[in-house]
């Protein structure tokens, strides 16, 4: 396996794959060759590339992780698939309809396995909720609410902040979670944005908050919200809550654990132990690591991984509709994935 893009997420992929016995991480690639070399050195890799085409032509690879920024997935994904490699693509799949269609076509003509890494599907509490919904324990679903918020300090670390928003960076997780949990497609959305804090603090005009109301094909209503301006003193690094109301029951879940709290000179507040904790033998544990290892496991076993490229297209259709609803300030229908 190889990794294209060695920023924050690329480095995380390298950390998980480097100590997984199913995978052999052999090289990394980044336009900033110095950044790639740093990640390679951390994991004892002797091979580094600054050009994806060169890497694909010279390395003996089975699969590639594409961990470039959201808007820059299409070119490396197409190149990898056309070179006969399986691909794990960081979420969201794409930020335009054209890019979605191009990558869908590339997957279909290549016959290779492809996965969009909406890793929250691998949270244990989310999986238990999925099992309860599939078993009909709540009865017909009537309403679903999700919020996913992060600190402004985290927002400030995004190098390409002017090219993204809470819709793409955060609500993308919520949209995939809704589709996966319910098995229902979005049919219509309304949305609003609020500006000010990010622009005043970081000098970038991008929304502080995005709020969405909508409907699903099963008749349920949905409410989604994401803000990335939480104060540094907020209890937890992430605020991730979900509520589901059915005809015969309801569920409330904190998808990000807040129950391990620390007060010390170096740290204060809730401590995340769900995604990047090293086990006794040094292997990274947690939901996100499991989502990465799941892809490698699927390749070894010949299983098609999910979320698929079509799941990625469907999520992007919803996100594009949210952007359109913000612009028009009215309800926007969500087309079926792949349709206009």
Query: Are 103 and 124 within one domain?
Result: no
CATH number reported for the structural domain that contains residue 153 in this entry: 3.30.360.10
Give a yes or no: residue 338 inside a domain: no
- Does 131 lie in the same domain as 93? no
**How many domains does the structure of the chain reveal?**
2
pLDDT tens digit sequence for 150-204 = 999 999 999 999 999 999 999 999 999 999 999 999 999 999 999 999 999 999 9
pLDDT at 211 over 70: yes
The tens digit of pLDDT for each residue in 83-105 reads 999 999 999 999 999 999 999 99
Range of the domain at 28: 2-112
Cα dihedral 138, 124, 174, 314 sign? negative
Domain boundary among 112, 138, 173: 112
* CATH code of the domain containing 35: 3.40.50.720
Confidence (pLDDT) at 270: 85
Note whether 93 and 23 are same-domain residues: yes
Question: How many CA within 13 A on the CB side of residue 323?
Answer: 17
Q: What is the pLDDT of residues 295-314, one digit of tens each?
A: 999 999 999 999 999 999 99
Q: Is the pLDDT score of 338 beyond 50?
A: no
- List of residues 6+ apart from 12 with CB closer than 8 A: 276, 288
Whether residue 30 is found in the same domain as residue 9: yes
Residues 59 and 193 in one domain: no
């Amino acid at each position: 396996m190889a990794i294209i893009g060695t920023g924050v997420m690329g480095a995380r992929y390298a950390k998980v794959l480097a100590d997984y016995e199913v995978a052999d991480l052999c090289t990394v690639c980044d336009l900033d060759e110095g950044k790639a070399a740093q990640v390679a050195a951390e994991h004892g890799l002797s091979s580094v590339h600054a050009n994806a085409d060169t890497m694909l032509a010279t390395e003996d690879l089975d699969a590639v992780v594409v961990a470039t920024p959201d808007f820059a997935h299409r070119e490396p994904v197409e190149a990898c698939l056309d070179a006969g490699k399986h691909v794990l693509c960081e979420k969201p799949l794409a930020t335009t309809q054209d890019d979605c269609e191009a990558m869908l076509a590339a997957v279909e003509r290549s016959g290779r396995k492809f996965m969009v890494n909406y890793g929250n599907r691998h949270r244990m509490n989310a999986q238990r909720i999925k099992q309860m919904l599939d078993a009909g324990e709540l009865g017909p679903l009537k309403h679903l609410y999700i919020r996913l918020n992060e600190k402004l300090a985290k927002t400030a670390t995004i190098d390409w902040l002017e090219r993204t928003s809470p819709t793409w960076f955060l609500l993308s997780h919520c949209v995939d979670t809704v589709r996966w949990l319910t098995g229902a497609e979005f049919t219509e959305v309304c949305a609003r944005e609020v500006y000010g804090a990010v622009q005043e603090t970081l000098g970038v005009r991008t929304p502080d908050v995005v709020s969405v109301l909508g409907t699903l094909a099963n008749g349920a209503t949905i409410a989604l919200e994401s803000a990335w301006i939480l104060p540094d003193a907020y209890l937890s690094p992430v605020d991730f809550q979900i509520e589901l109301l059915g005809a015969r029951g309801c569920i409330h879940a904190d998808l990000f654990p807040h129950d391990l709290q620390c007060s010390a000179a170096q740290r204060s507040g809730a401590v995340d132990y769900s995604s990047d904790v090293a086990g006794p033998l040094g292997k990274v544990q947690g939901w996100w690591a499991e989502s990465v290892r799941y892809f490698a496991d699927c390749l070894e076993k010949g299983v098609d991984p999910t979320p698929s490229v079509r799941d990625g297209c469907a999520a992007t259709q919803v996100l594009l509709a949210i952007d359109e609803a913000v612009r028009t300030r009215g309800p926007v229908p969500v087309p079926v994935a792949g349709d206009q």
